[in-house]
Amino acid sequence: MAHARKKLPAFPGMGDLKFRGFRGQVEYEILGDPASLRPGPTRLRGSICATPEVAEAAFREGEGELTLESGTTFRLQMLGHSAGSDVAYFEMRI
């Protein structure tokens, strides 16, 4: 019998996204509690929602930083983006 994965809670909010050539406010949604993230290989996944141009530029840049409403900053590794979409997907770590 297959094991069902525990569904992680979503943590939405507004934050500051920074990558080369851009710094500004974006909406985000993180799957899992960012406060539980510790230094090391563990990562959480999520998405940012901005204009299609910003989402595409963030994906093309590949890396960035997201500062949450709490003031905590995380490093992002961009994972995906669909042409014309206002959403880009990422993995985050400390």
Rounded Cα distance, 77 and 11, in Å = 18
Tens-place pLDDT, residues 77-91: 999 999 999 999 999
Domains and CATH numbers, the chain: 10-93 (2.40.10)
pLDDT > 70 in the chain, percent: 98
**Cα 76 from chain centroid (whole Å):** 6
pLDDT in tens, 26-67: 999 999 999 888 888 889 999 999 999 999 999 999 999 999
Residue 56 sits at φ, ψ, to 5 deg, of: -65, -45
Residue 48, pLDDT score:
97
Q: State both tokens at 81.
A: 């983006």
Mean pLDDT of 3-26: 91
Report whether 50 contacts 85 (CB < 8 A). no
- Whether the pLDDT of residue 1 is over 70: the answer is no
Q: Is 65 exposed, middle or buried (0-12, 13-18, 19+ CB in 10 A)?
A: middle
Q: Which among 58, 65, 61, 68 is positioned nearest to 89, based on CA atoms?
A: 58
